[in-house]
Structure 1
């Protein structure tokens, strides 16, 4: 039972991590789309790469 519980907990944590990454990626895409200049877009990409 302990192994099963550990597997379920691990799967849930993995799913949360995946959702968080997708959410971050969508946020970056929105920021890029709203960037007023190409230079601003490059700065956003550079900041995102530092994460």
Structure 2
């Protein structure tokens, strides 16, 4: 049962990370300028 819970938790973390990545890509696409998109990308590399 422990392995099952671990697998489920890992899958949840993976899906959450993918959701965050997609949301960030949408944010970049809506950036008003290229410079602001570069700033957002620089901030994201620090996480």
User: What is the TM-score of this pair, normalised by structure 2?
Assistant: 0.91
Unaligned runs of 5+ in 2: none
Gaps spanning 5+ residues in structure 1: where? none
Tell me which of the two structures has the higher relative contact order, counting C-alpha pairs closer than 8 angstroms and 6 or more residues apart: 1
Correspondence 1:11 to 2:13: no
Larger radius of gyration: 1
1:33 corresponds, among 29, 38, 43, to: 29
After the TM superposition, list the runs of 4 or more consecutive aligned residues in structure 1 that deviate by more than 4 angstroms.
none
Q: CA RMSD in A?
A: 0.7
TM norm structure 1: 0.85
Count the aligned residue pairs.
Answer: 47
Offset at 1:47? 1.2
